[in-house]
Amino acid sequence: MTTRRQYLVNSFAEDGYEGNPAAVCIVDKWPSEAQMQKIALENNLSETAFCLCLSNDSVEPQFHIRWFTPGCEVDLCGHATLATAYILFKHFFNDARVLHFRSRSGDLHVRKTDDFVILMDFPSYSLEEVTDEAELKEVAEALGETGEKIEALFKGIDYVAVLKNAEDVIEFKPDFGKIAALRGVYNLLITAKGGKYDFASRCFFPKEAIDEDPVTGSAHCTLGPLWAERLGKEELTAYQASARGGILHLVVGKDRVTVGGRAVEVYL
């Protein structure tokens, strides 16, 4: 497999000015962790994916994938996985329908449809409702005036604040310092039932050097199951209401979530 050092792709996007940009590095051997972290910092995107080919079978090739923010390596990244799959399908494995990735979150399987929607099979993450008054108060204060509009608060990998309506999500003005000061390792997702879409969300990861992520596939491994239960449906369309915005298509199973979307390669 012939490699080029790096590609730039907008995930969950229809054109070059929306969705979430990710850098994709196709490598013949792993750089050192320090070098991968420096490359991610130099790119200054929410994620840089590094992908190593393990088996170049033309039908179902296998890879190892790793994801780095400007500040650290992470366990799972949806938009950078979508970006990597898009590059592999487009430039290296035109005849393949399924790609298999080894990762820190286990084995991930990605397939493409006839019209090039990329579907990612991801783990499902559970949540528990927060009832501790001090914890509820801390998160409400981090949201400022919007804290009064919390209908329910959950935590799993991150805090998830369910707000009263989608407008509360869209209009929220974050104080990243307060969000970064939340206890422990918890970052913050805010979400609400949508109108045109089943639900809307925004995702803040200041502890990982990402104030607000434009479109976050991995967060929907948490948000998808939450809204599937609240709405009583398995197939959902989600809108991440960042400044760039992005649409995600979800199918929620017992312990897996299919996260789907389109991608656009950016030529500089």
Task: Report DSSP state, residue 244.
Answer: S
Report CA dihedral (106, 32, 215, 26) to the nearest 10 degrees: -80
**Which member of 14, 18, 33, 47 is catalytic?**
47
Q: How crowded is residue 250: how many other Cβ atoms within 10 Å of its Cβ?
A: 26
Bridge pairing between strands 188-193 and 20-27: unpaired
User: What is the secondary structure of 73-132 as a DSSP string?
Assistant: EES--HHHHHHHHHHIIIII-TT-SEEEEEETTEEEEEEE-TT--EEEEEE----EE---
3-state secondary structure of 46: coil
3-state secondary structure of 254: coil
Beta bridge partners of 112: 118
Sign of the dihedral through C-alpha 208, 127, 194, 151? negative
Are the C-beta atoms of residues 240 and 11 closer than 8 Å to each other?
Answer: no
Q: Is 47 a catalytic residue?
A: yes
Active-site residues, by number, are 47
